[in-house]
Amino acid sequence: MNYFILTYAVYLTVSILLTIWVAKVLFNNGRIFLVDIFHGNAPLADSVNKLLVVGFYLVNIGYMCLVLKETNTIKSTQEVIEVLSYKIGTIILILGAMHFFNVVVFFKLRNKAQLVKGEKANVVFVQPK
């Protein structure tokens, strides 16, 4: 049995499925923040949301491809599991970091949008006489 092919197949399958799952969660739950950030402009929020998901896929799948190659020997099922745990663990940490980064950016943008909205509410328009 070629343990390298088994390792690559399992690694890519699990990593891609995890990336798709996280992207769907971010896409579905991030929309409400983006709509708020863009002051109710749902088409703009949806467009930005789709662009964020595309970028998320590109970064994660690109990284997966870069670290696919395994230079050490894999001679047993135990080594397959050890290599997979390292590689998949790294992907999970990267997905978590990207998720955290997205949440921080959304909250900062939302706070900024709330400040702008509050400033607009405090503006008094005076009619000329």
Mean local confidence (pLDDT), 34-47: 90
For 2-74, where are the alpha helices, taking DSSP H only? 3-37, 42-66
Question: What is the C-alpha to C-alpha distance for residues 15 and 90, in angstroms, rounded to an integer?
Answer: 10
- Is residue 30 predicted with pLDDT exceeding 80? yes
In this prediction, residue 105 carries a pLDDT of 83
CA atoms within 13 A on the CB side of 103: 10
Name the pLDDT band for 42 (thresholds 50, 70, 90): very high
- Residues in CB range of 46: below 8 A, 6 or more apart: 31, 34
pLDDT confidence bin for 50, thresholds 50/70/90:
very high
Q: How confident is the model at residue 128 (pLDDT cuts 50, 70, 90)?
A: low
Closest Cα partner for 61 from 101, 103, 11? 11
| 104 close to 33: Cβ distance less than 8 angstroms | no
Whole-number pLDDT of residue 125: 53
pLDDT in tens, 65-123: 888 888 888 889 999 999 999 999 998 998 888 888 888 887 888 888 778 777 665 54
Query: Alpha-carbon Rg of the chain, whole angstroms?
Result: 22
